[in-house]
């Protein structure tokens, strides 16, 4: 799957200068085991914005990697908050993991810093911090908000990279894709998701019209 390969390659490239080597290898292992759905959804959203008129991978893998790295960093932070390995576990490994989480989020922000999605990325991190604070205070589970927020960020990032402004309908649809957890990459690259995003972004033009016109 071209999108998955592009997201993985760009994500690894973004951390290739991390030292020492042990730290970099631990990050690479985590990315190899991760769901790449956030990055893939970013590229799919580029395709929807361009109405399939161009290859979404070309020139936009860094945007996808930015979303992917932010998600992985926040997901790791959430895991550490729940497991509390400093209380019962390998404290050294926990110290390394919290450093990795910081690196992933900061590198993700770097990749999105000069894009129109930068502010949306900041809002995701703020919302995550708020949810974790509320959860620790009240016991209310808000974990699912991260996946919904990151899918929305992926769509916003992708359509902005494709030259369009995200609509409220598109944001809502993207967030709903995370109902029950992240969707699979295979589902995201299917025609139904691209068409649904396109419809919500270009409600006056049926999906496929631009592609059909290009074929002629």
Range with the poorest average pLDDT among 51-55, 57-61, 65-69: 51-55
Task: Determine the pLDDT at residue 211.
Answer: 43
Q: What is the total residue count of the chain?
A: 216
**pLDDT score of 53:** 72
CA distances from 97 to 111, 133, 193 (A): 21, 20, 34
Residue 20 has pLDDT above 90, yes or no: yes
In the chain, the N- to C-terminal Cα span, in Å, equals 27
Residue the block writes with tokens 């944001």:
171
CA distances from 63 to 26, 87, 182, 202 (A): 23, 37, 19, 22
For residue 212, the model assigns a pLDDT of: 41
Residue-wise pLDDT for 114-137, tens only, equals 999 999 999 999 999 999 999 989
pLDDT tens digits, one per residue of 76-117: 999 999 888 998 888 999 999 999 999 999 999 999 999 999
pLDDT at 88: 82
**Which residues, at least 6 apart from 130, have a Cβ–Cβ distance to it below 8 Å?**
none
Q: Round the average pLDDT of the chain to a whole number and report it.
A: 91
Segment 174-210, tens digit of pLDDT? 999 999 999 999 999 999 999 999 999 987 765 455 4
Cβ 200 vs Cβ 167: under 8 Å: yes
Cis preceding linkage at 20, omega within 30: yes
180: alpha, beta or left? (left if phi > 0; alpha if psi -120 to 50): left
139 exposure class (CB count in 10 Å sphere: 0-12, 13-18, 19+): exposed
């Amino acid at each position: 799957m071209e999108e998955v390969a592009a997201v993985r390659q760009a994500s690894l490239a973004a951390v290739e200068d991390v030292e020492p080597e042990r730290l970099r290898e631990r990050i690479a292992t985590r990315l190899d085991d991760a769901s790449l759905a956030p990055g893939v959804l970013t590229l799919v959203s580029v395709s929807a914005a361009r109405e399939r008129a161009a290859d979404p991978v070309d020139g936009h893998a860094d945007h996808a990697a930015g979303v992917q790295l932010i998600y992985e960093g926040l997901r790791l932070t959430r895991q550490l908050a729940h497991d509390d390995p400093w209380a019962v576990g390998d404290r050294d490994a926990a110290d390394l993991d919290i450093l990795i989480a910081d690196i992933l989020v900061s590198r993700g922000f770097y990749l999105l810093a000069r894009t129109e999605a930068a502010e949306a990325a900041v809002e995701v991190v703020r919302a995550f911090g708020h949810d974790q604070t509320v959860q620790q205070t009240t016991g209310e589970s808000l974990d699912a908000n991260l996946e919904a927020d990151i899918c929305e960020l992926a769509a916003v990032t992708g359509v902005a990279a494709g030259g369009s402004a995200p609509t409220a309908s598109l944001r809502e649809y993207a967030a709903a894709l995370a109902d029950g957890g992240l969707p699979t990459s295979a589902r995201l690259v299917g025609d139904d998701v691209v068409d649904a995003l396109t419809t919500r972004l270009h409600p006056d033009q049926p999906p496929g019209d631009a592609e059909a016109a290009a074929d002629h």
